Structure 1
Amino acid sequence: MSVWLPTAPCTPRECGAHHGPVAAATVAGVRVVAGLLLILAGALLSTPVALLGAGARDRLTRVWTRNILRVFGLRIRVVGAPLPPRGAGVLVVSNHISWLDIPLLAALFPGRVLAKSEIRQWPVLGGMAARGGTLFVERERLRALPETVRTLATALAEGSRVVVFPEGCTWCGRDQGRFTRAVFQSALDAGAPVRPVRITYRTPSGTPSGAPAFVGDDTLPASLWRVARAGGLTAEITVLPLIPAGRHADRRSLALAAQRAVAGDATARNTTAGDTPQRAVASDSANRPSLSVHHCVSSIPAALSSARTPS
């Protein structure tokens, strides 16, 4: 792994606690099997679905991803600003906690997702992600970054909704990483607005749950089981006010504005331009163009995109 890729201090043992109801092992087992079957069904149907019109693909994507979340026992709650209109390119940026983030965003914002290039080679899911319009980045090749930014800018200029997790790695949700700046250059180049969104996973009492966190050396089977055992989870997505195109003249100020919006009351943590993120791998990593690392892109990336469709 490149030393310039960011990392987070979160670990499954320290951050994966769920202080709420616990589902029986049999219930959790049924949830995992049903969820995997639903993902497989999506993979098998991805080719014919790609032939449908944009509106139909959006509707099917929303239905499918919502059902994935519900199968795993999650409710969905949306708060905040209204959805942006279709037909105009917008860069959607979010904090990143879990593999659940991608189906959650796709349930509300079907679009093209930025993912690490290794996913393209994965059996079944790699082809599904490619057919779904996923935008791939070679995360350890700095020389590939300008081309990635151009690709993102082109997609935005063509009217696509592009979904990115600018923290560069998953955090547990108690804190937030600094937003890397490179992806925001694509919005500036395309003259596209930025839509910040905040993801929170809550227990029935309303407190944040660590069960969905997919961090550190966590494995997908362990994460799937932890989510399936956590009872009464609510996946909350807060749609924050749009940052209009042209409001910020450079990617540094645009990235900072989006980061502060997503952080909300936690703005004081990790947002000052001169701050060093906790346990960062390199002191100038915020200036480096890392776009993804470790668990930073969902392990079910294909669940995401509604296939090259303007939205």
Structure 2
Amino acid sequence: MRTAPLHISRFPRLRLLPVGLLLLYGALQVALLFPFGGAAFRQRLKRRWSRQLLAVLGIRLAAADDVLSGLEHGLLVANHISFIDIAVINAVLPSAFVAKSEVARWPLIGWLAGRADTIFIQRGSRKAAHQAHRQMVEALLAGRRLAIFPEGTTTAGDRLLPFHAALFQSAIDAAVPVHAIALSYRAANGARSTAPAYIDDMSLADCLLTVLQADRLVAHLSLAASFDPPPPDRRHLAHRCHGTIAAALAHAESRSNAQPPGNEAEITR
């Protein structure tokens, strides 16, 4: 059940303006620069723009594990809380993403996603699923990082839903590493925050306003496990990724309760 709308102060509403301007700036980069740059150039643009977006939203980026910088290729598997997750991952590991086809219809964001290497999956269509699988395998064979959210939907960050195993087949067919990534958001006092959660019938604007009203959010990204080579059975692979991410999130929760906030290592790369 969706909670009652928050009383948003005038200040966060004003901060929506730079968010909108940054989205337009990203659209210009995608339209004018992406077609003329190679993969490394596009990755640098994605990383820089994603960090700018997090800064405008007042979200600090932190990593519990510096091993993230060594994940040069393969399939990234992460839990899903918000559309902001994409910026958090891109700020560290610029990637192509797999998303449901509905995202392509989002104003401006859908246009940006479609021209920033996103692979869209149309639900309920076997032909579309085969086409998306082929695109995923091609991207992985080309040495790119490809990120998926196998829960298929978002949560408030308080639980981990079952993973859809079909999305893991591309990594098995391409014979590339699979990296399980744990993602969470915390408030200034170290407690888990639901402010970025994009759930129920919440609109994009509602979510952005809630984030802007939150106090000093920190996005945590850590490597739960890597599977290289991945197990040959996709259901087994999905189960192992689910278990390692669940364990990493539980460990982060217990650690945040046991020590004061502010001890995480901030990413500055």
TM range, smaller chain: 0.7 to 0.9
- In structure 2, the residue matched to 1:90 is 74
- Counterpart-to-counterpart distance in 2, 1:198 and 1:27: 32
> Residue 220 of structure 2 aligns to a residue in which SS?
strand
Structure-2 change in CA distance of 1:124 and 1:202 (3 Å) = closer
How big is the shift at 1:148? 1.8
Task: Map residues 94-243 of structure 1 onto 2, 5 A cutoff.
Answer: 94-243=78-227
- Counterpart-to-counterpart distance in 2, 1:118 and 1:104: 21
- Counterpart-to-counterpart distance in 2, 1:226 and 1:127: 24
How big is the shift at 1:66? 0.7
- In structure 2, the residue matched to 1:294 is none
> Residue 245 of structure 1 aligns to a residue in which SS?
coil
AA matched with 1:158: A
Task: Check whether the contact 1:98–1:212 (CA below 8 A) recurs between aligned residues.
Answer: yes
- Counterpart-to-counterpart distance in 1, 2:3 and 2:106: 28
How big is the shift at 1:122? 4.7
Structure 2 counterpart of 1:264, from 241, 247, 250: 247
Q: Deviations over 1:265-293 (max 9, x none)?
A: 668xxxxxxxxxxxxxxxxxxxxxxxxxx
> Residue 200 of structure 1 aligns to a residue in which SS?
strand
Identity among equivalent pairs (%): 33
- Counterpart-to-counterpart distance in 2, 1:33 and 1:70: 14
> Residue 226 of structure 2 aligns to a residue in which SS?
coil
Q: Does 1:71 align with 2:56?
A: yes
Structure 2 counterpart of 1:40, from 19, 24, 33: 24
Moved over 4 A (4+): none
How big is the shift at 1:227? 0.8
Structure 1 counterpart of 2:235, from 252, 257, 260: 252
Q: Normalized against structure 2, the TM-score is what? A: 0.85
Structure-2 change in CA distance of 1:52 and 1:91 (3 Å) = same
> Residue 227 of structure 2 aligns to a residue in which SS?
coil
AA matched with 2:69: L
How big is the shift at 1:149? 1.7
Task: Check whether the contact 2:182–2:245 (CA below 8 A) recurs between aligned residues.
Answer: yes
Structure 2 gap segments, 5+ residues each: 251-269
> Residue 147 of structure 1 aligns to a residue in which SS?
helix
Q: Does 1:13 align with 2:3?
A: yes
How big is the shift at 1:167? 0.3
Which structure has more strand as a fraction of its residues?
A: 2
- Counterpart-to-counterpart distance in 1, 2:90 and 2:115: 15
- In structure 2, the residue matched to 1:296 is none
How big is the shift at 1:239? 2.2
How big is the shift at 1:35? 1.1
Structure-2 change in CA distance of 1:92 and 1:85 (3 Å) = closer
State the number of aligned residues: 248
- Counterpart-to-counterpart distance in 2, 1:52 and 1:150: 24
Task: Check whether the contact 2:182–2:248 (CA below 8 A) recurs between aligned residues.
Answer: no
Structure 2 counterpart of 1:61, from 41, 46, 67: 46
- Counterpart-to-counterpart distance in 2, 1:252 and 1:263: 16
How big is the shift at 1:217? 1.4
Q: Normalized against structure 1, the TM-score is what? A: 0.74
Task: Check whether the contact 1:153–1:189 (CA below 8 A) recurs between aligned residues.
Answer: yes
Task: Check whether the contact 2:224–2:248 (CA below 8 A) recurs between aligned residues.
Answer: no
Q: Deviations over 1:99-144 (max 9, x none)?
A: 1101111111111111222333455444332221111111232442
Computed over aligned residues only, the root mean square deviation of the Cα atoms, in angstroms, reads 2.3
Q: Deviations over 1:153-204 (max 9, x none)?
A: 1211111110110001101101110111011111000001111111110011
How big is the shift at 1:240? 2.6
Task: Check whether the contact 1:31–1:73 (CA below 8 A) recurs between aligned residues.
Answer: no
- Counterpart-to-counterpart distance in 2, 1:33 and 1:218: 20
How big is the shift at 1:31? 2.2
- Counterpart-to-counterpart distance in 2, 1:56 and 1:265: 32
Which structure has more helix as a fraction of its residues?
A: 2
AA matched with 1:189: D
